[in-house]
Chain A
Amino acid sequence: MSPPARRGRALGAPAQLARVALAALVAVVALGLPGCAAERGPAPIRLWHAYRGAEERALAALVATWSGPPVELLALPADAFAAKLQAAIPLGAGPDLYIDAHERLGDFRARGIVAPVGDALEEDAFGPEVLPAVEQDGVAYGVPLTLKSAALYVNDALVPTDPPDLESIAELRLPEGVYPLAYEAENAYFHAAVLHAFGGSFLAPAGEPGAPGATPGASDAFGFVGEAAERSLELVRSLVDRGVVPADADGALVTRLFAAGKAATAISGPWLANDLPPETPHYRVIPLPKVRAADGAPLRPMLTVEALMLAPAGAARPEVRAFARFVASTEGTAILRREARAVPARRDAEGLLEGETLRRAFDDPALAADALVSAFAAQARVAIPMPTSVAMRATWEPAARALKKVLRGDTAPAEALREAKQRFDDARPKAVPAARPEPLVAIVGVLCLAAAFWLVRRARRREFRAAVRRSLPAYAYVLHSVVVLGVLVFVPLFAGAAISLAVGRPGELTYVGGYNFVEILTARGGPLFASGSFYLVLLVTLAWTAVNLFFHLGIGLVLGLLLSRPTLRLKALYRVLLIIPWAVPSYVTALAWKGMFHRQFGAVSALLSAVNDLFGTDLESIAWFSRFSTAFAANCTTNIWLGFPFMMVVTLAGLTAIPKDVLEAAEVDGATRWQRLWRVTLPLLRPTVMPAAVLGAVWTFNMFNVVFLVSGGEPDGQTDILVSEAYRWAFTREAQYGFAAAYSVLIFLLLFAGTELPGLVRRWRARRRLAPAAEVSS
C-alpha cells in the first residue's frame, strides 16, 4: 500500500466519526424542534417538585381536579432540586412554577429564577406568621402551601398530662434509663426553638435592636450572641448535664429512643411520625412547652413554609397564576392535608381539631392522622419562619460548633458565642475592590507570546515538520481521547483556576486578582496557626496523610507478605475477606464507622462496657468527636480500614514479580528471614509499591468522604483537611466559590509539587551518577 493511501485510511476513521456525530446532532434537532413548535392549543403548565410517596400522590390527586390547561408534573431528587432549577430556568427549559421551602427564596431571587407572584396570592388568606416568610422587601415571591415545624411528641403512658413547661418535663418521675426529653440538642435547627424562647435569633433583627415591629432575623448580621443566646445555651447545657436530654443525639437516635419508650418526650418534626415503627408506645403531639427560665415564654421552633414559586416566564402567564391560586386554595390544600398529612398554610384551613377534641382524637385510630396535622398546625401558629437571607445558611456551621463546644463542657457560652460570631464574620464575603485585569492580561499575553515563539521556532525546523507529518495518523488516533480529557479534566481545571481569581457568588463574580490567595496565605489577617487558617489545616492534612499512609503501607505489606506464604491454607478466602473493606463504597463505610464511634450507643462504647463488665475495669466511654486527638484517631481508623486492602493487593502483585531465585541466593548467602525481608524483598517491592504509595498519598490528601462523614471537622473544624475546608467555603459559607477555587488551586499545586519533585530530583541524581560512568566508557 502506498503511503498516501495509508494516510487516507487512517484519517478516514475520525472523519467517519464526525459524520456520525453530525447525523446524531441533526436527528436531535429534528426531533426536538417539533416538540418546541407544537404550540397547538394551550401550552401546558410545568410544575416541578421534590415530593415523594404520599406527598407526590397527593399532589397528583390535586392536579387531577384542575380543569384548566394541562399540567405537566415532574418530580426531581431533593438534593439536586435547587441546582436543576438554577440551571434550567435561565435557559428557558425550566418549569413555570415549582414547590420549594421558603428559605431558599433569598437565594433564588438573587439568581433571578423567581418572580413576584402577583395575583396568585390571596393575601388575606394567610396569617401574619406565614406571610412574612414569602415576602422579600414587602413583595410576595411565593404562595404559601404547607407548613413544617417541630413539635413535642409525648409518650402517653409515661406522661399522662401535658407538662406545662420544660422544667416540669425535666422533673418527671420516670423509670430507670428513660430520658425525659430527646431531641438533637447539638443541632442549631432545634436549638432555634430555645433561642427564640429567650427572644434571640440566629440573625440579628433589622433596624434598631429591640425596636417594636422589627422582624426577627431580617438583617444579615450574626445574631447568636448576647444575653438571650447565652441563657439559651446555659439552659440546654444544664439539661444535658443533668441527663434530662441525651448528649450527642442525632435524628436516628431520637427516633430509636422514642420508639423504644426510652424517651418520655421528643422534639421533632412531622417526619418522625413516619419513621416511628408500629410497635411504638402510644403517643400524642402537642405544641412545645413554655420555659420557666425564659419568664414563661414558649419554645418557638423554626417554621418552614413550603411555597409555590413562579419562574419569571410562568409569572407572566395568567393561567399559571390561576393554577397557583388553585393549588393553594382551601380545597387544594385540603387534599394535601388528607392525603399527605401536610399542615395547610391557610388561615381558613378546614378539618383542624382543637383543645379536648384534639386530645381525644389521638386515641381514635380513625382520627389519628387529623390529630397529627392539627397538632402541628397549632404549633405552626407560634413558630418563627426561618429567615430567607442568604446569610442564614452561613449561620448554621458557627452556631452548631458553638452548641457542641458548650454542650460538651469545653467552653463557656459567652466564649463559644464570641468565637462563633468571629467565625461567621470571618467567613462572610467581604467587600473587595475589583482589581485591574491588566497585569493578568499582560502575564497571559507574555506567556502566549513565549509559547507562540517557541512553537514557531520548532516549526521552522525541517525535521520537526517532517516528524509532525509522519505522526499525523497517530494524532488522528488520539484525537478523541484528547478531546474527552480536555473537556472532562482540563476545562474544569482551568475554569476552577479562573474562578480562584474572582470573588462573589456565581453569576456576579468580580475579578480580584490574587486577593483570594493572599487572604488564604496570610490566614485572613489572623495569626498564621489560628483555628481554620490555611497553615493549620495544611499541617493537619499532612499529618492525616502521613499517619494514614504509614498504616496503609504497614498493614498492607504485612498482610500481603502473610498471604503470599506458600504454606498458608484458605488463602483465597482470606484474600476475599480482606478486600471487602475496599469493595464497600467509602461513604457507607464512613457512616458505619461514625455510628460505631457514637459516645453512648456506638459499638466501640459497647465494647468498652463489655470489657468493664468482664474484667471489672472502669473504662469510660469516650466522646470521640469532642477532642482533636480522638476525633483524628477515629477518622484515621476509618480511612485505614478503607485503604489497607489496596496496598495489600499491590504488595501481593509486587511479590509475584520478585524472582524466587534471588531470595534463594540471599538464603544461601546467609541472610536470615528478617534480613531477606529488609534487604531483598522490601527493596524489590519498592518499584511496585512506591507509585501506589504516591497514589494513596494523593487519595488520602483529598479524602473528603471520610473526614466529612466521620468527624465532619469536629471538634471545631480542627480535623478538617484542605478539601473539606474548600468544600465549606463553597457550600456552607455563602457560596464563596472564588475562595474555594483558590483552595483547590493550592491543593493542586501542593500535590503536583509533592508528586513530581521527587521524580525530578531522582532523574537529576541518576544523570549525575551515570555521567562519570559515561566518561569512563567513552
Chain B
Amino acid sequence: MVAIRCKGVAKRFGSTVVLDGVSLEVPDGAFAVLVGPSGCGKSTLLRLLAGLERTDLGTICFGERDVGELAPRERDIAMVFQSYALYPHLTVRENLAFGLRLRKTPKPAIEARVREVSGMLGLEKLLDRMPRELSGGQRQRVAMGRAIARRAQLFLFDEPLSNLDASLRAAVRVEIRRLHLELRTTSVYVTHDQVEAMTLADVMFVLNKGRIEQSGAPLDIYDRPATRFVAGFLGSPAMNFLEARVATAEGAGGTGLALEVGAGASLPLEPGAFAGEVVKGAKVTVGVRPHDFEPVADPNIPALAARVVLCEALGGETYAHATVGEQPLVVRLGGSERLDPGARLRLRAPRIHLFDPARGRALARPT
C-alpha cells in the first residue's frame, strides 16, 4: 500500500559491481515481478529494498518518503528469503506468529491469523513441528506464511516457490494472486519461472548484469522485447535467433526485401514493417518464437528450408529441432505430428523480430 521509486541505485561488493544504476517504479498496490539470470543482482536489489543492505548511490523512496536511512524494522515490510531463514528453535506456529508477537498483537488475533495462513498454505498439520522436521517445500511454505501473516505495507518475495512441486506451485501461485487481489499490498517478487512471471505480474522488470533491460506489462515485454537478451530470456522454449542479410526479394509476390538466412533459405519481409531501419545489404538477427513458424506446402512461396534433427513429443505439442544451413532452430508442430530425422521442412514466419546483431537492440517494432 505504498509506491516504490528507485532512482539510480548502485551497489558494489568490493570490486564487484552488482547493481549499476537501477531505476524502477512500482505503483501503489501493484505486483511487480523481477526476472533475470542467476547472479544478476535480483536478491541484492530486494535486500536493498528491505534495508538489509545500504545503497552506494541512488535513492529508494516508499511513497514520498526516502527510506535510505531506515532500518528494516522501520520500513514495515515482510520478506520471504531465498534460503527460507526460518527460526530453527521455534515451531511452525511460533514462526508464523513471530512478527505479530513482536508487534504485541493480541493473542486471539494472532491465532486467527495463523489459522488463516496455515489453511491457505496447507500447513495445519505441521503447526507443532520444528523447521528441521520439514521438507524443503514445507519450509518454503512456512516462510511464505510467515511473510503473509504479517500484513506489512510491502511484500518482498525471493523465489518463494522454487522448491515446490508443479501442482503445489500452481496452487500457491493462484493463492498468491488471489491474496494480492484481496489485500492489494504492493509486492516485489523475484522468480525464474516464466509462468509465474507472466501470470502474477502487473509490471515486470527484466534485470541483466545489474541493469534493468526492460520494464512494463508482461505481455508487452513478451510481444515487444526491447533487446535480444529480453527476447531470449522470456518464453519457453526460447526464441530462435538466425543471422541473416537483407536482400531483394525474388519470386512471385516479391515487392521489396527479404531476409536471406542461408543458401536458398529466405524469409520475406512484409513491406513497411521495419521501414527505415532495414536497408538492403544490412546484417540483422532474426528472432522467431518456436510457435510462430508455419509450415508451407506450396513450393512456390518463398520459405525457410530446414532439416529436422530430432523431434520431442510432449503430448499436447511437439517440438522439432532442426537446422537451417548451420544454424539451429526449434519449431513447434501440432500435437500429433511426427517427423523423422532428416526430413525437410519448409517454414514461414508471420511474426518476426529483428535485432541489431552488434548491440542486441531491437529494430523497429513488428506490428
Are A684 and B88 closer than 8 Å at their CB atoms? yes
For the complex, is B255 an interface residue (Cβ under 8 Å from A)?
Answer: no
Question: Is B234 part of the contact surface with A, judged by Cβ < 8 Å?
Answer: no
Q: Answer yes or no: B125 CB below 8 A from chain A CBs.
A: yes
Q: Pick the contact of A664 from B52, B129, B146, B150 — CB < 8 Å?
A: B52
Residue of A nearest to B90 (CB): A683
Contact count band on B = 20 to 34
A641-694 contacts to B, CB under 8 A, are 659, 661-662, 664-672, 675, 679-680, 683-684, 686
Q: Is the CB of A668 within 8 A of B50?
A: yes
Question: Binary interface profile of A, 749-778, with partner B (CB < 8 Å = 1, else 0)?
Answer: 000000000000000000001000100110
Known: A669-B102, A671-B73, A675-B102. Is A773-B85 also a contact (CB below 8 A)?
A: no
B222 within 8 A of A: no
Q: How far is the CB of A582 from chain B (nearest CB, A)?
A: 29
Docked-complex contact B87 and A665, CB < 8 angstroms: yes
A667 touches B87 (CB 8 A): no
B residues with CB within 8 A of A: 50-52, 71-73, 76-79, 81, 83, 85-89, 98-99, 102-103, 125, 128-129, 146, 150
Select one of A662, A667, A773 contacting B86, CB under 8 A. A662
Asked if A662 meets B87 with Cβ closer than 8 Å, knowing A668-B77, A669-B99, A671-B102, the reply is: yes
Q: Which 6 A-B pairs have the closest CB atoms?
A: A669-B99, A661-B85, A665-B85, A683-B89, A667-B72, A668-B72
- CB A453 to nearest CB in B, in angstroms, measures 40
5 contacts across the A-B interface (CB closer than 8 A): A659-B83, A661-B81, A668-B79, A670-B99, A675-B102
| Nearest CB of B to A774, in Å | 12
For A666, list chain B residues within 8 Å (CB). 87, 98
- Using Cβ atoms and an 8 Å threshold, which residues of chain A touch B76? 670
| CB nearest neighbor in A for B79 | A668
Give min CB distance, B117 to chain A, whole Å. Answer: 14
CB-CB under 8 A for A670 and B102, given A661-B83, A664-B52, A664-B81: yes
Residues of A within 8 A of B72 (CB): 664, 667-668
Closest B residue to A661 using CB positions: B85
Smallest Cβ-Cβ distance to B128: which chain A residue: A773
What residues of chain A lie closer than 8 Å to B128, measured between beta carbons? 769, 773
Question: What is the bound-complex CA distance between A670 and B105, given in angstroms?
Answer: 13
Q: Chain B residues with Cβ under 8 A from A686's Cβ? A: 89
Give the residues in chain A near B83, CB-CB below 8 Å. 659, 661
A667 near B85: Cβ-Cβ < 8 Å: no
Query: From residue B142, how far is it (CB to closest CB) to chain A in Å?
Result: 11
State which of B50, B73, B125 has its C-beta within 8 Å of the C-beta of A776.
B125
- Residues from chain B with Cβ under 8 Å of A777 in the complex: 125
A661 to B79, CA, bound (A): 11
Q: How far is the CA of A659 from the CA of B89 in the complex (A)?
A: 12
Contacts of B86 in A (CB 8 A): 662, 665
- Which has the most chain A C-beta neighbours within 10 Å: B78, B87, B129? B87
**A665 x B81 contact (CB < 8 A):** yes
Residue pair B73, A659 in contact (C-beta under 8 Å)? no
Look across to chain B and name the residue whose beta carbon is closest to the beta carbon of A773: B128
| C-alpha gap A777/B77 in the complex (Å) | 35
- In Å, the complex CA distance between A669 and B87 comes to 11
Measured CA separation A638–B217 after assembly (Å) = 71
Tell whether, in the assembled complex, residue A665 and residue B79 are in contact, meaning their CB atoms are under 8 Å apart. Answer: yes
Chain A residue contacts of B150, Cβ below 8 A: 669-670
Chain A, Cβ-Cβ closest to B129: A773
| B52 contact set on A, CB distance < 8 A | 664, 667-668
Q: How far is the CA of A769 from the CA of B133 in the complex (A)?
A: 13
Chain B contacts of A669 at CB under 8 A? 78, 98-99, 102, 146, 150
A671 to nearest B CB, angstroms?
Answer: 6
Tell whether, in the assembled complex, residue B81 and residue A670 are in contact, meaning their CB atoms are under 8 Å apart: no
Contact A672 B87 (CB under 8 A): no
Measured between beta carbons, the chain A residues less than 8 angstroms from B87 are 662, 665-666, 680
Most chain B C-beta atoms within 10 Å of own C-beta, residue among A667, A675, A776? A667
Contacts of B51 in A (CB 8 A): 668
How far apart sit A746 and B72, CA to CA, in the bound complex (Å)? 55
A634 to B81, CA, bound (A): 51
14 extra A-B contacts, CB within 8 A, seeds A665-B79, A668-B73: A659-B85, A664-B85, A665-B81, A665-B146, A667-B71, A667-B72, A668-B50, A669-B78, A669-B146, A670-B103, A680-B87, A684-B88, A684-B89, A686-B89
**A670 x B73 contact (CB < 8 A):** yes
Q: How far is the CB of A598 from chain B (nearest CB, A)?
A: 48
A668 lies within 8 A of B78 (CB): yes
Least Cβ–Cβ distance between A549 and chain B, in angstroms: 22
Q: What B residues does A679 contact at CB under 8 A?
A: 98, 102
Q: Are B73 and A667 in contact (CB under 8 A)?
A: yes
Q: How far is the CA of A670 from the CA of B75 in the complex (A)?
A: 9
**Residue-wise interface mask of A (52-94) relative to B, using a CB-CB cutoff of 8 A (1 in contact, 0 not):** 0000000000000000000000000000000000000000000
Least Cβ–Cβ distance between B126 and chain A, in angstroms: 9
C-alpha gap A661/B84 in the complex (Å) = 8
Which residues in B have their C-beta under 8 angstroms from that of A680?
87, 89
Cα–Cα distance between A664 and B52 once the two chains are bound (Å): 7
- Which residues of B sit under 8 angstroms from A665, Cβ to Cβ? 79, 81, 85-87, 146
A435 to chain B, nearest CB (A): 53
A670 to B76, CA, bound (A): 8
By a CB distance below 8 angstroms, the chain A residues around B71 are 667
- B125: A residues at CB distance < 8 A: 776-777
Residues of A within 8 A of B129 (CB): 773
Residues in A with CB closer than 8 Å to B99 are: 669-670
Q: Mark A10-24, 1 if CB is under 8 A from B, else 0.
A: 000000000000000
**Residues of A close to B85: CB separation below 8 A:** 659, 661-662, 664-665
The minimal Cβ–Cβ distance linking B163 to chain A, given in whole angstroms, is 15
* Shortest beta-carbon distance from A640 to chain B in Å: 28
Q: How far is the CA of A679 from the CA of B88 in the complex (A)?
A: 11
Contacts of A664 in B (CB 8 A): 52, 72, 81, 85
A661 CA to B50 CA, complexed, in Å: 13
C-alpha gap A497/B100 in the complex (Å): 57
- Complex Cα distance, B128 from A664, in Å, reads 24
Contacts of A773 in B (CB 8 A): 128-129
